Amino acid sequence: MSAQPAGVAGPSEGFLAGDAQYLHRTSLDEISELAGSTEFNIEAYRRALLDSLSVLVDIQRIPALWHLGLGASFSWRPGESVVSIRPSQQVEETFRHLAERWRTETMFQSSPTAKFMHPLYLQIIGMGRDIVPLLLREVQEESGQWFLALRSITREDPVKPEEAGQVRKMAESWLCWAREQGYSV
């Protein structure tokens, strides 16, 4: 493949890394470059087009990548069904700040209304899909406080009725869902 944007390698090199801004531009930039070249090589153009399309098709099979936030970065190995996603630093810092304040203000509450109707928790939900990888990381680290946020943002509910209240089982259901969606957890 021709010159890549910074931080991106072609699929033939075995490891595709980049950020959301490059996800689609990569293919179009390369194809444009080849098409505009004075030494146009149709075979190289065809190969680049097919390579890019196959990467795009593979990526399209991973739901976790459908909602990449602005500035998020990801790393993915072609052929694998999971992707490691990292929200932008600003998103992560905002989430951590809100989460820590929320935890401090509600740490001794047992009432779900007091905990999850708290303005800070609602602000966290309002951050949307960008923070799903962060919430999944919290679940993986054995925090049972984010199921409602995950449910609200993703509009999914993988928890079985018989698991009600059993934090570890509920966490495992969410992590199972995450792996099916292509999140690396």
The residues of the shown chain that bind another protein, judged by CB under 8 A, are: 106-114, 116-117, 143-145, 147-148, 151, 157, 159, 161, 163-168, 170
Cβ of residue 149: shortest distance to another protein, in angstroms? Answer: 11
Cβ of residue 12: shortest distance to another protein, in angstroms? Answer: 46
Of the candidates 129, 29, 26, 21, the one whose C-alpha atom is nearest the C-alpha of residue 70 is 21
- Compute CA 142 distance to the chain's CA centroid, rounded to the nearest angstrom: 20
Nearer to another protein, 74 or 174 (CB): 174
Cβ of residue 151: shortest distance to another protein, in angstroms? Answer: 8
Nearer to another protein, 59 or 132 (CB): 132
Cβ of residue 89: shortest distance to another protein, in angstroms? Answer: 27
Q: What tokens appear for 57 in the block?
A: 């098709």
Nearer to another protein, 48 or 139 (CB): 139
Q: Are 140 and 185 in contact (CB under 8 A)?
A: yes
User: CA–CA separation, 115 vs 122, rounded Å?
Assistant: 10
Q: What tokens appear for 34 in the block?
A: 């080849």
Of the candidates 149, 141, 145, 105, the one whose C-alpha atom is nearest the C-alpha of residue 123 is 149
